[in-house]
Amino acid sequence: MNRLVAIVGPTAVGKSRLAIRLARLFNGEIINADSRQVYRHMDIGTAKPTPEEQAILPHHLISIINPDEAFSLAQYQELAYQAIKEIQRCNKLPILVGGSGLYVWAVVEGWRIPHVPPDAELRRRLEEKAASAGAAELYQQLLKIDPVAARKIDPRNVRRVIRALEVYQQTGTPFSQLQEKQAPPFVTLIIGLTCERTQLYQQIDLRIDRMIEQGLVAEVEKLVQMGYDFTLPAMSGIGYKQVGMYLRGKISLTETVQQMKYETHRFARHQYAWFHLNDNRIKWFNIQYPFEAEIEATLLQFLENKPVKIDS
């Protein structure tokens, strides 16, 4: 079985739930493609599948590193390919699910990621510049030298901006030009979930309210007690950053929730820059209409090696 199914779309749209359903129906196993769910001890704020959900069937690349460990896109891609190969060897269907565009496309398109080692001194200088002049200053610098890479990076994602600048500084070549592609040895069906923006925002807001009810504040407190500092990249994610500000008395809990919702709405919009609704590689389904049966029929066609029609 040289098949891979990828489920993409904005946060809170229902990707994990669909992945579990399809994995149970089609003898599959799930591979995480969310850049935050790789961290241990960060469960509620990253919306990981629950222990009960993970017990239903195998999940790969969830909770594999500590929050203070470095983890690169190249490492993720290598581990994902290993998981895909192992699952296929068992004649099962690998299902890649997540909203991190870098992770998904690196696997599906077979990016040949530059092996440029980290430069600690350069990173320190760029981080200091971001802290003093603002993240926008670094982003403008990247726009000048590599507009193609810049368009694919959230301007507020300082870590990604610094990495692109670092690669350019060490190689003299724009990061985007070094990312060649080599088709992986499997055929992929990409399923996209979407819905009207108002409904998506409502689902996001409900998820964040549940995170607070489930104990996100206590989760962040525990991380701090374990020695994980708020300056760590892992602790800069939505939810952890805002709760950290609350715990340090900088904002109220009400403001914490408001900021989490605002930033997650913004993040969802950014995800559509990675997963275009007019991308002819993605078979989109609107969750506002009955979609499960159509997805199952589409997947069956794919597994029977029949052509799948992608709406333009």
pLDDT, one tens digit per residue, over 272-296 is: 989 999 999 999 999 999 999 999 9
pLDDT of residue 1: 66
For residues 172 and 249, membership in a common domain is answered with: no
145, 155, 173, 206 from 169: Cα distances, Å:
10, 19, 8, 43
pLDDT of residue 124: 87
Q: What is the dihedral of CA 8, 9, 10, 13, to 10 degrees?
A: -100
| Structure tokens that stand for 131 in this block | 């802290």
DSSP string for 61-120? SSS-B-TTS---HHHHHHHHHHHHHHHHHTT-EEEEE-S-HHHHHHHHTTEE-------H
52 close to 81: Cβ distance less than 8 angstroms: no
For residues 229 and 128, membership in a common domain is answered with: no
Q: Domain total for the chain?
A: 2
pLDDT of residue 58: 96
- Edge-to-edge strand order for the sheet containing 28-32? 59-60, 28-32, 93-97, 3-8, 187-194, 282-286
For residues 225 and 250, membership in a common domain is answered with: yes
For residues 193 and 73, membership in a common domain is answered with: yes
| Structure tokens that stand for 68 in this block | 């203070």
For residues 149 and 191, membership in a common domain is answered with: no
Helices H, strands E: what count in the chain?
14, 8
Indicate the pTM of the whole model: 0.86
Q: Decide if 62 is inside a domain.
A: yes
For residues 271 and 135, membership in a common domain is answered with: no
∠ CA 255-261-263, nearest 5°, is 100
Task: Domain of residue 151: give its range.
Answer: 120-178
CATH code of 164's domain: 1.10.20.140
For residues 210 and 276, membership in a common domain is answered with: yes
15 close to 97: Cβ distance less than 8 angstroms: yes
pLDDT beneath 70, residues of the chain: 1, 179, 312
59, 67, 120, 263, 265 from 257: Cα distances, Å:
29, 23, 34, 10, 12
CATH code of 71's domain: 3.40.50.300
